[in-house]
Amino acid sequence: MKKSVFPMNILKPVKDFLSGEAARLEKRKRELAKEDPFRDTTRLVNNASPDDDAEEQFGHDKATALQNQVDRKLIQIRKALTMIKLGKYGICESCGKMIDTDRLMVVPETTFCIDCENKKEK
């Protein structure tokens, strides 16, 4: 039995969108790195107050958490782009069934159908 695949004329806009999202997230990642107080070279000299330490630690933790979130999203986008190249986009990597097109419209980087995603989250 031949598996269904999306035609390339339908996947081109999806690929373009995902590529744009990847570029946007790479830019955001660089911005977050600049916002990290631990990367500020003047902080070593200007560190007189314990309040400054706490504020810098909070800023660092926030920047790190946001960078991790961006990294996870980038991984998913790159994975989806790879699936497009391989001709496997829209096929659940767990059960092998087609992912509902409504789901792909909302979360184009998904690689799991809704049933497998729900099982994975339990």
Domains in the chain: how many in total?
Answer: 1
| 104 within domain boundaries | yes
| 3 within domain boundaries | no
Q: How far apart are CA 29 and CA 10, in angstroms?
A: 29
Rounded to two decimals, the pTM is: 0.76
Q: How far apart are CA 55 and CA 102, in angstroms?
A: 43
| 68 within domain boundaries | yes
Facing residues of 91 across strands? 98
| 49 within domain boundaries | yes
| 2 within domain boundaries | no
Q: Give tens-digit pLDDT for 29-70.
A: 999 888 877 776 655 555 556 666 677 777 778 888 899 999
Q: Which residue has the higher pLDDT, 122 or 88?
A: 88
| 82 within domain boundaries | yes
Whether the per-residue pLDDT at 1 is higher than 60: the answer is no
Q: Give tens-digit pLDDT for 5-30.
A: 777 888 899 999 999 999 999 999 99
Give the domain extent around 80.
Answer: 8-121
Residue 23 is part of a domain; what is its CATH number? 1.20.120.910
Q: Nearest-CA neighbor of 32 among 63, 65, 70?
A: 63
| 1 within domain boundaries | no
